[in-house]
C-alpha cells in the first residue's frame, strides 16, 4: 500500500504544480505536466485494479492492519471491519458516573482495534500535530510538505472526487467518529453499514411488505394447512432494492494562529468540535432530513405514521389519549426497541398528564411521589430522550415514538481534511474543513396493514400538528 500512497501524493503535487501561473502561461509546460498527471493516474488505476483482484480472491494484496497502515486504505479497512466493534468497546470503558469518553480514550481503542502501531517517522502523534502539518503546507504554498501527509484522491478517484485536501490519519478519523457515535442518542441506536473506499453508494435488498394479511407477508409468502396428499399454494417473497447514495457533509472550523502553535490544545478543541458537529448534523438529518443532498429523515419518510389529534384538543397540547394512540400504532416487533424522542418544551405537558380514576386522577408521567422526586423518564415502559432535533411544541415531530434499529446509515471510513487561508487571512486565522460522506434512510418504505385490524403500524410514529 506504500506505493499507492506514494503515487497519490505525487498526483496531488503534480496537480498543484499544474495550477501555478508559470505552467498555465506556457502551453508546452502545461501539456508536459498534463501528460505526467495522466501517466500517474493510470499507474494508480492499475495498482488499484491489482489490489481489488487480490481482494476478490480473499488474499490481501498487502497487510494494512499493522504499523504500516496509513491513508485511505487503512481508513476504508477500519470502516469496513471494526468501527462498530470499536464504538461498543469505547462505550463499555469503565468511567466515573456521568463522564463521557474523551478523545484520548477513543484513540487508544482505535489503535488497539486497528492493530495500529505508531511509528513517528510515518505517523502523526496527535490530531493537533497533523492539523499543524496541513496548515504549514497551505501557508507555504506546498513548499513545506510533511512526508506523513497523504493527499486525498482527486478526479474520478475514490473517497471524494471534489473535496481535495488530505486524508485524516486512520486512528484520528476512527476516534472522531467513535466520539460522535458514542455521544449521540440517535447515532448510537441506528443500524450502521460502513462501505469501502472504492464505493460511493450501496444497494441492498429489502422485503417489499405492505400488509401482514395471509399471502402478503414477506411480500407474498403464503402457508396453508393442507390434508395429506394436497399440495400447498405456490408463493414467493417479494423484494425491493434499497439504494444509498453517499451525501457529503462538510464541517468547517476557524483557528487563530496562536492556537495553531499549541498542538495539545488544538487536538482537544478540534477533536471535540468536529465530533460534536458531525454528530449534530447527522442526527438532525436522521430525524428530519429531506433526502435531497442529505439523508432521508424519519419525519419526511413514507414509513411515518402520523396520529391525529383528539377532537377538540387545544393547540400546542399533549394529552394521555395521544400517547395511547401513538403506542397502539407502533409495530409489534418494534415495541421492545422503541424510544420516545421529545422536544424539551413538551415536558410541562407530560408533567401535568393524568388519567381519570373515579373523581380524581392518576399521574401518567410522574411517579406517585410527585414532582419532588425525579421524573420517571418512561412512557409505556419505553425511555424518553430529549433532543434538539424534535419540532417545536404543537408541530409534527415534537414527540415521536421510534425504533431506530429500523433506520440504516451507510458511511465511508475515509475522511478528508483541508484548510484555507483565503477566508480569514486578514485576522491571522486558518480555517479547517473536514468532509464526511454518509447516507441514511428508514428500512420501511410505508406503514404495514396488520393481520387483523385496519390501522396501519410502523416503527416510526409521530403526533399530528395541534
Rounded CA gap, 251 and 424, in Å? 16
Q: Above 80 in pLDDT, residue 328? A: yes
Nearest to 411 by CA among 116, 102, 87: 87
- DSSP state, 365? S
Mean pLDDT, range 297-305, rounded to an integer: 96
| C-alpha cell, 114 | 486497528
115-132 confidence digits (pLDDT tens)? 888 888 889 999 999 989
Does 354 or 410 have the greater pLDDT score? 410
66-100 confidence digits (pLDDT tens)? 333 344 444 444 444 456 677 777 777 776 555 66
Phi, psi (degrees; rounded to nearest 5) at 249: -105, 120
Give pLDDT, residue 353. 81
7-40 confidence digits (pLDDT tens)? 777 877 787 788 788 888 888 888 898 899 889 8
Q: Degrees (nearest 5) of the Cα angle 156, 140, 197?
A: 25
Which H/E stretch holds residue 328?
helix 320-329
Give pLDDT, residue 56. 43
Rounded CA gap, 150 and 415, in Å? 11
6-16 confidence digits (pLDDT tens)? 777 787 778 77
Rounded CA gap, 338 and 374, in Å? 22
Nearest to 203 by CA among 407, 439, 405: 439
- Which range, of 42-51, 63-72, 199-208, 314-323, averages the lowest pLDDT? 63-72
Nearest to 247 by CA among 183, 296, 185: 296
Rounded CA gap, 246 and 267, in Å? 28
Rounded CA gap, 433 and 160, in Å? 13
- Percent of the chain at pLDDT exceeding 70: 72
Give pLDDT, residue 96. 55
Give pLDDT, residue 320. 92
Number of H helices, E strands in the chain: 12, 16
Give pLDDT, residue 424. 42
Which H/E stretch holds residue 136?
helix 127-139
Does 193 or 108 have the greater pLDDT score? 108
Res. 196 pLDDT band, cuts 50 70 90: low
Q: What is the CA radius of gyration of the chain?
A: 27
Burial 200-224, CB ≥16 within 10 A → b, else e: bebeeeebbbeebeeebbebeeeee
Q: Above 90 in pLDDT, residue 426? A: no
212-238 confidence digits (pLDDT tens)? 777 666 666 666 676 666 555 666 666
Find where cell 469505547 sits: 90
Cβ-Cβ contacts under 8 Å for 109 (sequence gap 6 or more) = 86, 89, 90, 93, 175, 178
Does 154 or 442 have the greater pLDDT score? 442
For residues 123, 127, 129, 134, the Cα torsion angle rounded to the nearest 10 degrees is 90
Mean pLDDT, range 302-312, rounded to an integer: 96
- Percent of the chain at pLDDT exceeding 90: 27
Res. 63 pLDDT band, cuts 50 70 90: very low
| C-alpha cell, 444 | 420501511
Give pLDDT, residue 218. 62
Asked if 158 and 72 count as a contact pair (C-beta separation under 8 A), the reply is yes
Does 432 or 335 have the greater pLDDT score? 335
Mean pLDDT, range 39-67, rounded to an integer: 57
Res. 176 pLDDT band, cuts 50 70 90: confident
141-169 confidence digits (pLDDT tens)? 788 889 898 876 654 344 444 456 787 88
Res. 387 pLDDT band, cuts 50 70 90: very high
Q: Return the bridge partners of 266, or none.
A: none
- DSSP state, 94? -
Give pLDDT, residue 359. 63
Res. 355 pLDDT band, cuts 50 70 90: low
Does 318 or 453 have the greater pLDDT score? 318
Say how many residues make up the chain: 466
| C-alpha cell, 354 | 393524568
| C-alpha cell, 177 | 467518529
Residue 50 neighbours by CB distance under 10 Å:
12
Task: Report the relative pairing of strands 399-402 and 382-386 from DSSP bridges.
Answer: unpaired
Q: Return the bridge partners of 378, or none.
A: 383
Res. 401 pLDDT band, cuts 50 70 90: very high
Cβ-Cβ contacts under 8 Å for 226 (sequence gap 6 or more) = 232
Rounded CA gap, 385 and 383, in Å? 6
SS (H, E, C) 144-212: CCCCCCCECCCCCCCCCCCCCCEECCHHHHHHHHHHHHHHCCCCCCCEEEEECCCCCEEEEEEECCCEC
| C-alpha cell, 110 | 482505535
Rounded CA gap, 232 and 222, in Å? 9
Res. 55 pLDDT band, cuts 50 70 90: very low
Which H/E stretch holds residue 32?
helix 27-56
Rounded CA gap, 444 and 434, in Å? 31
Averaged confidence pLDDT in the chain: 78
Res. 427 pLDDT band, cuts 50 70 90: low
Amino acid at each position: 500500500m506504500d506505493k499507492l500512497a506514494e503515487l497519490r501524493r505525487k498526483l496531488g503535487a503534480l496537480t498543484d504544480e499544474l495550477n501555478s501561473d508559470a505552467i498555465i502561461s506556457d502551453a508546452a509546460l502545461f501539456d508536459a505536466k498534463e501528460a505526467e498527471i495522466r501517466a500517474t493516474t493510470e499507474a494508480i488505476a492499475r495498482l488499484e485494479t491489482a489490489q481489488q483482484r487480490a481482494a476478490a480472491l480473499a488474499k490481501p494484496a498487502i497487510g494494512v492492519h499493522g504499523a504500516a497502515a496509513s491513508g485511505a486504505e487503512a481508513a476504508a479497512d477500519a470502516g469496513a471491519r471494526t468501527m462498530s466493534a470499536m464504538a461498543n468497546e469505547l462505550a463499555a470503558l469503565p468511567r466515573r458516573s456521568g463522564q463521557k469518553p474523551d478523545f484520548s480514550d477513543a484513540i487508544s481503542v482505535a489503535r488497539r482495534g486497528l492493530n495500529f502501531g505508531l511509528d513517528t517517522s510515518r505517523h502523526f502523534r496527535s490530531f493537533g500535530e497533523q492539523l499543524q502539518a496541513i496548515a504549514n503546507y497551505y501557508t507555504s504554498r506546498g513548499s513545506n510538505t510533511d512526508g506523513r501527509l497523504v493527499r486525498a484522491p482527486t478526479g474520478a478517484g475514490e473517497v471524494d472526487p471534489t473535496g481535495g485536501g488530505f486524508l485524516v490519519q486512520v486512528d484520528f478519523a476512527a476516534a472522531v467518529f467513535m466520539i460522535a457515535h458514542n455521544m449521540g442518542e440517535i447515532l448510537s441506536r441506528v443500524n450502521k453499514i460502513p462501505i469501502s473506499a472504492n464505493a460511493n453508494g450501496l444497494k441492498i435488498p429489502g422485503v417489499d411488505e405492505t400488509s401482514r394479511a395471509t399471502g402478503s407477508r414477506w411480500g407474498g409468502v403464503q402457508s396453508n394447512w393442507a390434508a395429506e396428499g394436497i399440495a400447498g399454494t405456490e408463493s414467493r417473497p417479494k423484494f425491493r432494492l434499497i439504494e444509498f447514495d453517499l451525501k457529503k457533509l462538510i464541517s468547517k472550523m476557524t483557528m487563530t494562529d496562536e492556537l495553531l502553535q499549541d498542538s495539545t490544545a488544538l487536538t482537544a478543541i478540534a477533536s471535540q468540535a468536529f465530533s460534536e458537529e458531525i454528530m449534530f448534523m447527522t442526527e438532525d438529518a436522521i430525524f428530519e432530513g429531506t433526502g435531497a443532498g442529505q439523508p432521508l429523515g424519519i419525519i419526511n419518510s413514507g414509513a411515518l405514521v402520523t396520529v391525529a389529534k383528539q377532537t377538540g384538543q387545544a393547540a400546542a397540547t399533549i394529552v394521555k389519549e395521544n400517547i395511547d394512540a401513538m403506542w397502539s400504532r407502533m409495530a409489534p416487533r418494534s415495541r421492545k426497541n422503541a424510544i420516545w424522542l421529545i422536544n424539551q418544551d413538551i415536558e410541562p405537558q407530560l408533567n401535568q398528564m393524568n388519567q381519570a380514576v373515579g373523581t380524581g386522577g392518576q399521574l401518567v408521567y410522574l411517579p406517585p411521589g410527585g414532582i419532588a422526586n425525579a421524573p420517571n423518564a418512561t412512557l409505556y415502559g419505553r425511555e424518553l430522550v430529549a433532543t434538539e432535533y424534535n419540532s417545536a411544541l404543537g408541530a409534527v415531530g415534537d414527540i415521536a415514538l421510534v425504533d431506530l434499529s429500523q433506520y440504516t446509515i451507510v458511511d465511508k471510513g475515509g475522511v478528508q481534511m483541508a484548510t484555507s487561508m483565503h477566508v480569514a487571512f486578514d485576522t491571522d486565522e486558518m480555517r479547517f474543513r473536514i468532509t464526511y460522506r454518509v447516507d441514511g434512510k428508514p428500512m420501511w418504505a410505508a406503514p404495514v396493514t396488520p393481520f387483523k385490524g385496519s390501522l396501519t403500524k410502523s416503527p416510526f410514529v409521530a403526533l399530528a400538528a395541534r
